[in-house]
Structure 1
Amino acid sequence: MASSSCADLDPDVALRLFEEGATLVLLGVPRGTELGIDCKSWQVGPRFRGVKMIPPGLHFLHFSSVNLPSCGSEIGPKTGLFLSLKPREILVANWDPKTEDLDFSDSKNEEEVSRIRASLQELDPYLGPYPYEVMRKWVSFTDHLSEEVANNLQPLSGRICAFSDVIPEVEFRHTKDRAEQPRNDTACQSMKEGLDRLPRMKQREGTELRFSDIPKKTYPPGATPAEITQWSLDLSYALETLLEKNHKLQPLNLLGELQFAFVCFLIGNVYEGFEHWKRLLALLCRSEGAMRKHKELYLGLITVLYHQLGEIPPDFFVDIVSQDNFLTSTLQDFFQFISGPGVDGALRKRAEKFKAHLTKKFCWDFDADLDDCAPVVVELPEGVTVD
């Protein structure tokens, strides 16, 4: 881990972090491992023993094992976990080379923690300071994400993995069971046949992210055809159903879930996080009735999106989102609904400023007719043909 300097820190802030900050003692992490906390990562050096001066609160620790052959290196998939750290807390973890993971069991051993605390002065030269320059960004990413919400959304295993841990749906323990399966020693006649021959897989129990279930039915039981149409255009019933089931006491925790999904994707490289972020965003942006009812939720949503979209490079949308024009069409619906009658004036004004900001930053036209998004006929240069 490259040494970070505290020279740019205000002396009072540095002193307060030194006295009140938490410490992660991470022992045995192999040289070359990519390890980070929150929005910054490093490559671990031979002297690394952990991170000090960590501001109390919620943080995301993430790491990728690295093989260092004679020429080039191979980086493994990223693993992450949310940690809620208290002032002056010491967490101790040892690297397990078999699982390529951090084992925090020593943190429950009071004697071991006391021993480490007593030797902190000796460890200090081997501890890198928390990258305070990313603190403001990290807080803007997680200001609605509480320890409780993060714990409820994290897998029961406590690890958020970029690649899903999958196992066969059916275990063939006996030779007879395996013999009855389709043979793979003959050529497949079709792609379907090839897919059918593959074992059906499922995610290992306890490793799943525990996101809220977004209702598949957007209308109430017994709805008339007119009501079905209404609640299919205005997703407020589905949103209220989700809030009632998952965030009844604290509706703003839904923004925490949106932030959790975003961090899992942006920092943890978990594509499932991106998919859930998209679904939640579509639900929020297309709930016209809820915009009149949940002023604080939507004021918060605008601020959350302002910070999230500000950290993603513009070409990200070209490469991923704009394949189906998801983000622009979703936000176009949002700005149309939020300018409607009955919406709080302060909320409408905040939305107008956000719309102007996005238009300037990304050159998106939210006032264009959706028909304008139809495919454009491109004239090819002379002599160029498309087979």
Structure 2
Amino acid sequence: MMNRPSRTTVIFNNIPENWLVGIDLQFFNTNNILKGIKLIPDGIHILHFAKDQSSIRQGFYINAKEGDIILVYWDSQEEKILVDEEIGEININKELSKISEYYSFMINYPNDEHWEALTKYINIGQVAFILPKGKKIDSVLTSSDENNLLLDTLYKSSKSRNLSQDPIINSIIDQSNEEIKYTMINLDQTIRPNGNSIEKTKDSLDKSWFFQKILNSGFNDNENLLLSEFQQCYLNMIIFANYSSSIQWLKFLKILFNVKESIQERLNFFENFLDVLTIQFEKFQEDYIDEFINEEFLDKSISEFEYTVKEFEIRSLIKKIINLKNLLSLKFGIHITGFVEDDDEEAPVIVDI
């Protein structure tokens, strides 16, 4: 057996031919020669698999470290991907003993200059908490928020029934270990419930109170953890086409583009947020944009944010907003027209994936 290879190595075992396999934002097809991926740099990465472009994509996050070797095995009987200890120690040791044979049949990690920025704030401990048991994610997993909303609706419509015996309700409750535990964000509760008339009027125009509430209750006042979840939502959305992740990502945008007071109090955070968002749009595939984002929503939200930072004369944010607008215009043909004070209607923001 050769010494452990440099960086991180992923070994493929029993992965069927002509599968669509990928790491990070890169995709390639498997064959009977390919044995894995080598020279993966340190840091957060996502491995993902699908039978073809129309199939459900599944995958998992890794925190690559020097000398790591990860074994990925397709269990054809159970029809699921197994990783490392799920495979069994004997089988792992058997594969590791062959790594010198496999190494020349592995592809080099396909470098992406933007990947480090796309994962800059991701906390692997938070990833482990958010993802369901088994730490895997796929295209159809739903969030706790969605399941709770569905449960609440069923409870309200089922008052006359014995809920403890209701198979539909029990099936949803049983998903608690198979759901994505994003931070709960209820956009119907952005106004403080016990506020006076002045505070409630302020909250209707400025989501700073709600932003601070989410930051405290969901992230222990840690701005980087909020950006970590924001980056996870984005990657789960564009890699796995996960609908729940697109909803959560857009919820963050609805809040962060509609604050006023917090911009001045947390200037560094909003500088980082705009940097993250700009690189996310830089990597958005052009044919994906209409699937996830409504142009009217972007126009209204960015225009309101731009109006605020210009009103406060925050030059660092003005420059970043201009860069974002230029990117949206040049890459997607989305032109941000400017703030319209009498337009109070919320544009629809989600279309089916």
Which of 209, 224, 231 is the equivalent residue of 1:259? 231
Question: Which structure is higher in helix share?
Answer: 2
Query: Aligned partner of 2:129: which letter?
Result: N
Do the aligned partners of residues 99 and 327 (structure 1) sit closer, same or farther apart at CA in structure 2, a change above 3 Å counting? farther
CA contact (8 A) 1:28 1:49 kept: no
Alignment of 1:348-367 (within 5 A): 348-361=318-331, 362-367=333-338
Question: 1:227: Cα distance to partner?
Answer: 1.1
Indicate the residue corresponding to 1:160 in structure 2: 137
Deviation at 1:60, TM superposition (A): 0.7
C-alpha separation in 1, matches of 2:292 and 2:88: 46
Cα separation, 2, equivalents of 1:350 and 1:164: 34
- Say whether the 8 Å CA contact 2:37–2:109 is kept in structure 1: yes
Q: Indicate the SS of the match to 2:178.
A: coil
Q: State TM-score, norm by structure 1.
A: 0.73
Aligned to 2:132, the other structure's residue is in SS state coil
CA offsets, 1:8-61, max 9 Å, x none?
A: xxxxxxxxxx95311111211111221111001112101222211111211111
* Displacement of 1:105: 4.2
One of 76, 85, 88 as aligned partner of 1:97 = 76
Q: How has the CA–CA distance of structure 1 residues 153 and 120 changed in structure 2, closer, same or farther, with 3 Å as cutoff? A: same
Alignment of 1:104-123 (within 5 A): 104-106=83-85, 113=92, 115-123=94-102
Question: In structure 2, which of residues 181, 199, 202 is the aligned counterpart of residue 230 of structure 1?
Answer: 202
1:52 aligned partner: 38
Consecutive unaligned residues in structure 2, runs of 5 or more:
152-160, 162-166, 346-353
- Asked if the contact 1:165–1:204 (Cα under 8 Å) also holds between the matched residues in 2, the reply is no
Once the two structures are superposed, the pairs formed by residues 191-210 of structure 1 within 5 Å of their partners are 202=172, 204-210=175-181
- From the superposition, tell whether residues 61 and 223 of structure 1 become closer, same or farther in structure 2 (CA, over 3 Å): same
5+ residue gaps in structure 1?
1-17, 67-73, 170-179, 181-197, 375-387
- Closer, same or farther: CA 269–350 of 1 in aligned 2, 3 Å: closer
Query: What secondary structure does 2:48 align onto?
Result: strand
Is the CA contact 1:54–1:130 (under 8 Å) kept in the aligned structure 2? Answer: yes
The 1:309/1:373 distance shift into structure 2, 3 A limit, reads: farther
Q: Which AA in structure 2 matches 1:148?
A: G
Identical-residue share of aligned pairs (%)? 19
What number of residue pairs does the alignment pair up? 320
| 1:34 alignment partner AA | L
Q: Distance in 1 between matches of 2:247 and 2:238?
A: 12
1:1-387 alignment, distance < 5 Å = 19-66=5-52, 75-106=54-85, 113=92, 115-132=94-111, 134=112, 136-164=113-141, 202=172, 204-215=175-186, 216-248=188-220, 250-314=222-286, 316-318=288-290, 320-322=292-294, 325-341=296-312, 344-361=314-331, 362-367=333-338, 369=340
Determine helix, strand or coil for the equivalent of 2:199: helix
Residues 56-107 of structure 1, C-alpha deviations (whole Å, 9 max, x = no match): 21111111135xxxxxxx8421112111121111112321113322212447
AA of the residue aligned to 1:257: E
1:266-312 CA-to-partner distances (Å, cap 9, x unmatched) read: 01110111111100111111111111111121111111111111222
For 1:218, give the aligned amino acid. Answer: T
- Residue type at the aligned position of 2:273: L
Distance 2:103 2:214 in 1: 47
